[in-house]
Chain A
Amino acid sequence: MSSPLDHVDQLSVWLKDAGLALLELRGPSATLRLVNDGASVHVVEGKESVSADAPSMTVRAPSPGIFLDRHPLHERAIVLIDANVRADDPLGFLQIGPLVLAVPAPRAGTVTDVLVAHGTIVGYGASLFVLDPLEGETA
């Protein structure tokens, strides 16, 4: 089988035609990520983890749940706006009946916005936080 890397030009045309913003192909040995910014399609170097110097990103709900900004046993929100967090630090929680799922930070950064109020019902993919790169690490 041929590698998708041999077909980047064709894939780029299809991406543009379909009006899709991102195409990501993951294989055991490589990841190909094509980004369509409207003007052109370019390859973003493939690393599986999100790099620390990417621009600000939105942290989304990994599951339906009731969004909690604090653990049910705690009184205060776990992160506040402008807090610096490390990768995998919990930013908030999703409560599903007796289950409480942490929403981890996908990378280190500064929380610049909390987009959902404590106690809101959210679906999969709902935008919860905006995470900016740590100061001094911006590309």
Chain B
Amino acid sequence: MGQADLALCIGPAAAAQSYLNQKAILFAAEVSGAEAIHPGYGFLSENAGFVEQVEAAGLTFIGPTAASMRIMGDKIAAKRAMRAAGVPCVPGPDEALSDDVDVVRAAAGEIGYPVILKAAGGGGGRGMRMVESESGLRDALLLTREEARRAFGNSAVYVEKFLGRPRHVEIQVIADTHGDAVWLGSRDCSLQRRHQKVIEEAPAPQIEGALVREIGERCAEACRQIGYRGVGTFEFLVEDNAFYFIEMNTRLQVEHPVTEVTAAIDLVEAQIRVAQGERLPFRQDDIACRGHAFECRINAEDPDSFVPSPGVIDIWQMPGGPGVRIDSHASAGYRVSSYYDSLLGKLIVHGATRDEALARLRVALDEARIEGIATNLPLHRRLVADPDFIRGGVSIHHLEMKLRRSGQP
């Protein structure tokens, strides 16, 4: 923030009165003479109403249209749009389930158990319930519907095939306002705990290049069809070499640096250029994946209990050298607030091969030193020595199973 030309406080620390206060952000934009608003990730970055407010104020929103956000925010509408564009989805109807339990039973039977019930207004792992057999369907349906109504104000629920040990693989896209869209590579974010990604990598290992290309092309085509603009991410579950679309994030993502270093593209710069109305400065043929990259999310939290650890950082020593990048706002003397997410920084490494990148990651993690507060650095050091992770291609349940085996929550 110290490097900004102008920094304006928009409210007290509580997010509801500052980062989620649309009026305060628009006031700050007006006062500072800003012409555009970059929503970052989190907070209002996927809020269609905010996009409309920004545009009504005569400003440019650096991101997709409100209409695109609304389609992708409704997971059933998103699935329908993806099927129409030829993007493969998880087996199951792309419509809300009826109140008639017999109809639901027939739909679930056709998919085959186990199935998963999902809230149309959910996403990011929220509002889901797995059903193992027909006997549990009725209760699970009532429960999921009621939770969805309370949590998202939308009781619409849909049913999909439950995948037992999938990987989380995503495709980065960018589209301009002239009808052009390209995909920029794949990322594997399977190492998760409670749906929070811990380590991400690009490209997704052990998936045939031709398959990723075909899926990537379909994602880019979907962007053209729905008139998408800006950056976005198509998230898939991948099992037995098959891709299944789960949702699209209509914003920049935390893990975007692994794509930046392997595609050699500054995604934030590209976002701003697209928002200015420029054409994409590259075509699909210009995009190649160079080498391999990893990102470790460094969180201010206890590495065993995962409880957030706010406080003052006494020592902040970050690694360096070829292929090592640190994205962080923190430093020695910085006070980690208890008001916000515990993400302190991102350690990104790049190498010619996955092995080289992994070797650099191990050294970098050993060199990193943060004292004064607890961080998850010890967890990262353990994970990069895990034989399954070293082999690559673990499922989204791998980390939680590993933690459970070692008696952690």
Given the interface pairs A124-B11, A124-B12, A125-B12, the reply to whether A65 lies near B27 with Cβ below 8 Å is: yes
Please determine whether B12 and A123 come into contact, CB atoms closer than 8 angstroms: no
A102 at the binding interface (Cβ < 8 Å): no
- Whether A66 contacts B31 by the Cβ 8 Å rule is yes
- Give the contacts of B10-29 with A (CB-CB under 8 A): 10-12, 18, 24, 27-28
Would you give the shortest CB distance from B17 to chain A, in whole angstroms?
A: 9
In the complex, B56 has a CB within 8 A of chain A = no
Q: Is there contact, CB below 8 Å, between A124 and B32?
A: no
B residues 24-53 near A (Cβ < 8 Å) are 24, 27-28, 30-32
CB-based contact A123/B30 at 8 Å: no
CA–CA, A75 and B10, complex, Å: 29
A43 within 8 A of B: no
State how many angstroms separate the Cβ of B25 from the closest Cβ of chain A: 9
The answer to whether A64 and B12 touch across the interface, beta carbons within 8 angstroms, is: no
Given A63-B24, A64-B24, the answer on whether A124 and B10 have CB atoms closer than 8 Å is yes
Residues of chain A within 8 A of B31, CB atoms compared: 64-66, 95-97, 121
Bound Cα distance A64, B31 (Å): 7
Cα of A76 to Cα of B9 in the assembled complex, Å: 28
Bound-complex Cα distance A122 to B108 (A): 58
A64 engages B6 (CB within 8 Å): no
- The tally of CB-CB contacts under 8 A between chains A and B is 39
Residues of A within 8 A of B9 (CB): 64, 123-126
A92–chain B nearest beta-carbon distance, Å: 15
B12 touches A96 (CB 8 A): no
Q: Does B265 contact A (CB under 8 A)?
A: no
Which residue of the partner chain, among B7, B11, B18, B27, contacts A96 with CB atoms under 8 Å?
B27
Chain A contact patch, size range: 10 to 19
Q: Specify which chain A residues have a CB less than 8 angstroms from the CB of B264 in the assembled complex.
A: none
Residues of B within 8 A of A97 (CB): 30-31
Task: Report the Cα distance A64→B6, complex, angstroms.
Answer: 12
| Bound Cα distance from A23 to B9, whole angstroms | 21
**Cα separation A123 to B8 with both chains bound (whole Å):** 5
CB distance from B332 to the nearest CB of A (A): 18
A105 vs B30: C-alpha distance in the bound complex, in angstroms?
25
Residue of B at shortest CB range from A19? B312
Bound-state Cα–Cα, A122 to B7, Å: 9
Chain B interface SS verdict (over half): loop
Closest to A65 in B: B31
- Tell me the smallest distance from the CB of A108 to a CB of chain B, in Å: 26
| B25 (CB) vs chain A CBs: closest residue | A64
Which residue of A66, A96, A123 has the most chain B CB atoms within 10 A of its CB atom?
A: A123
In angstroms, Cα B24 to Cα A122, docked, is 13
Give the Cβ gap from A16 to chain B, nearest Cβ, in Å.
15
- Interface residue ranges of A116-139 to B (CB < 8 Å): 121-126
Cα distance A19–B321 when bound, in Å? Answer: 38
CB distance from B221 to the nearest CB of A (A): 42
- Which residue of chain B is the closest to A122 with respect to CB atoms? B8
Docked-complex contact B30 and A96, CB < 8 angstroms: yes
CA distance A96 to B30 in the complex (A): 6
Interface string of B102-121 (1 = CB under 8 A from A): 00000000000000000000
| CB-defined contacts of B28 to chain A, threshold 8 Å | 64, 123
Give the CA-CA distance A21 to B263 in the complex, in Å: 49
A24 → chain B, closest Cβ, in Å?
A: 12
A63 to B31, CA, bound (A): 10
Docked CA distance A53–B31 (Å): 35
Q: Are B24 and A124 in contact (CB under 8 A)?
A: yes
Name the A residues within 8 Å of B11 (CB-CB). 124
In chain A, positions 43-97 with a C-beta closer than 8 Å to chain B are 63-66, 95-97
Cα distance A64–B27 when bound, in Å? 6
Flag if B6 contacts A121 (CB, 8 Å).
yes
Task: Please give me the residue from chain A that is nearest to B17 by CB atom.
Answer: A124
Which chain B residue lies CB-closest to A64? B28
Question: Separation in Å of the A100 CB from the closest CB of chain B?
Answer: 12
Bound: A95/B32 CA distance, A: 11
| Complex alpha-carbon distance, A124 and B8, angstroms | 7
Q: Which residues of A sit under 8 angstroms from B18, Cβ to Cβ?
A: 124
B34, chain A: closest CB distance, angstroms: 11
Contact A121:B8 (CB < 8 A) given known A63-B24, A64-B24:
yes
For residue A126, which residue of chain B has the nearest CB?
B9
Instruction: Assess the B10–A121 pair: CB atoms within 8 A.
Output: no
Q: Smallest CB–CB gap between A90 and chain B, Å?
A: 19
Q: How far is the CB of B50 from chain A (nearest CB, A)?
A: 17
Give the top 9 A-B pairs by smallest Cβ distance, nearest first: A123-B9, A123-B8, A64-B28, A97-B30, A124-B9, A96-B27, A64-B8, A124-B11, A64-B27
27 of the cross-chain contacts (CB-CB < 8 Å) are: A64-B8, A64-B9, A64-B10, A64-B27, A64-B28, A64-B31, A64-B32, A65-B27, A65-B31, A95-B31, A96-B30, A97-B31, A121-B6, A121-B8, A121-B32, A123-B8, A123-B9, A123-B10, A123-B28, A124-B8, A124-B9, A124-B10, A124-B11, A124-B12, A125-B9, A125-B12, A126-B9
Known: A97-B31, A124-B12, A124-B18. 4 other contacts (CB 8 A): A64-B8, A64-B9, A96-B30, A121-B8
